[in-house]
Structure 1
Amino acid sequence: MSFSNQMMKGLLDGAILGLISQGETYGYEILDKLKAQQFPEISDGSIYPVLLRLSKKGYVTSISKKSNTGGPKRKYYNITEEGKVELANFIYKWNYLNNGMNNLMRSVNDVE
């Protein structure tokens, strides 16, 4: 199933902040975690612009560390206090929107 870029952009910000809030992580691991949660298909390249945007807004910090597997260095991300506030706002707005959409869809299904 395909989703619009604008819809995915807003959702990815919140989803990635939520994953980073669970503990230090890196880009490819974030992608694996999104896939494990059955998040709609996204490309590897779409994660890094979101991480850059979140970093520029001050919601996450990053540090380069050696890979545990002996590969190249990885950039690990952590959530900031500002990021926690933004995540709380996202969750509030998501719950509000989700509740409204669920109510609307139930009323549509009642008509059929």
Structure 2
Amino acid sequence: MEKARLDLFRGTLDVLILKSLIWGPLHGYAITDFIRRLSDEVLLVEEGTLYPALWRLESRELIEAEWGLSENNRKAKYYRLTTAGRRQLQHEARNWDAYAAAVGKVLGATRLDSPGDPA
């Protein structure tokens, strides 16, 4: 079965970026690679989407950046989580879990309940 590329819901990319940085600093390509690999090649983040998200997270002080050398000895900007970023990730993960559970209940419905019916 061929895998379809899925567009990210608004705001989802931010939490995926924060999650990718939980284990330590990464440069842009490594962040997109993390998301792509862990989503089984379904979520593909383009540069034109990634870098505005990184700038947005940096301006909100959820991540910090500094220049370093990549694995192939090239200059690269590395991003890392701040304390505020870790708190935001926890908050967003809880929200995502609640959202996914609610959607799952609706999609898993096997009958149409009337407003007065017991659950």
TM over 0.5: yes
Give the gaps of 5 or more residues in structure 2. Answer: 112-119
Give the aligned partner of residue 108 of structure 2: 106
Q: TM-score, normalised by structure 1?
A: 0.85
Alignment-mate amino acid for residue 22 of structure 2: S
Give the gaps of 5 or more residues in structure 1. Answer: none
- Displacement after TM superposition at 1:25 (Å): 0.6
Q: Distance in 2 between matches of 1:88 and 1:34?
A: 18
Corresponding residue SS for 2:11: helix
- Displacement after TM superposition at 1:2 (Å): 4.8
Give the aligned partner of residue 80 of structure 1: 82
Corresponding residue SS for 1:21: coil
Give the aligned partner of residue 59 of structure 1: 62
- Displacement after TM superposition at 1:96 (Å): 0.6
Does the CA-based 8 Å contact 2:32-2:44 persist in structure 1? no
Root-mean-square deviation over aligned CA pairs: 1.5
Alignment-mate amino acid for residue 67 of structure 1: S
Give the aligned partner of residue 94 of structure 1: 96
Alignment-mate amino acid for residue 52 of structure 1: W
Corresponding residue SS for 2:65: strand
Q: Which has the larger radius of gyration?
A: 2
Identity of aligned residues (%): 24
Q: Distance in 1 between matches of 2:45 and 2:65?
A: 22
Moved over 6 A (4+): none
